[in-house]
Amino acid sequence: MPFFVPIIEKIDGFFQIYVPTLYQSGFVIGAALTFLLLRRLLDPKLRYISLVADYFPLFLILSIVTTGILMRYVFKADVVSIKELTMGLITLQPTIPEGISVLFYIHIFLVSVLFIYFPFSKLMHMGGIFLSPTRNLSNNSRMVRHINPWNPEVKYHTYEAYEDEFREKMIGVGLPVDKEGAAPAPEAAASEE
């Protein structure tokens, strides 16, 4: 076990009033997620702009925390059987031992869904903080104009050039043009014949 894991366990589990040790991190995460969910449900403006993609990660992570807390404090999980299952999966010789509760399989399924969902969700935005221009560029935008070197050269098409190119068609369908062209309107051509 790495040296810092017992230190973190001691800091996290200083409430030794319960066996197993009561870790505050699980309850703090649960309280924070419950606050975010209630805020989204009770604030009318936030509820109006919320989509399914906003509720799903909250419910998913809250379910993971809830099943983890239930396995630790309420319905005891057989740690030896879970370790046997994990080692079998790691060594590519999977076995399903007896004594693993359904709650563990629900928990591991929800964690797997989170791993699958994470790269395609809004949660991935938090990784973008390391790519943010405000973090990576020097703050001299008043002195230097920053231009992306990978942006292609833009070929502008002015309205005059657009009208020169499509003048006959525009006059043909009755659209107003700035400069009158040589193409007569369809009604005028039909009345001349």
Higher pLDDT, 188 or 75: 75
How many other CB atoms are there within 10 angstroms of residue 24's CB atom? 14
- Give the integer Cα–Cα distance in Å for 94 and 77: 19
Question: Bridge partners of 15?
Answer: 22
Q: What top-level class would CATH report for the domain 4-136?
A: mainly alpha
pTM given for the model: 0.62
Please give the angle made by the CA atoms of 11, 14 and 19, to the nearest 5 degrees.
130
The domain locations on the chain are 4-136, 159-187
Mean pLDDT of 136-163: 81
The 3-state DSSP class for residue 32 equals: helix
Residue 18: pLDDT above 70? no
Which stretch of DSSP H or E encloses residue 111?
helix 102-117
Sequence-distant (≥ 6) Cβ neighbours of residue 38 within 8 angstroms? none
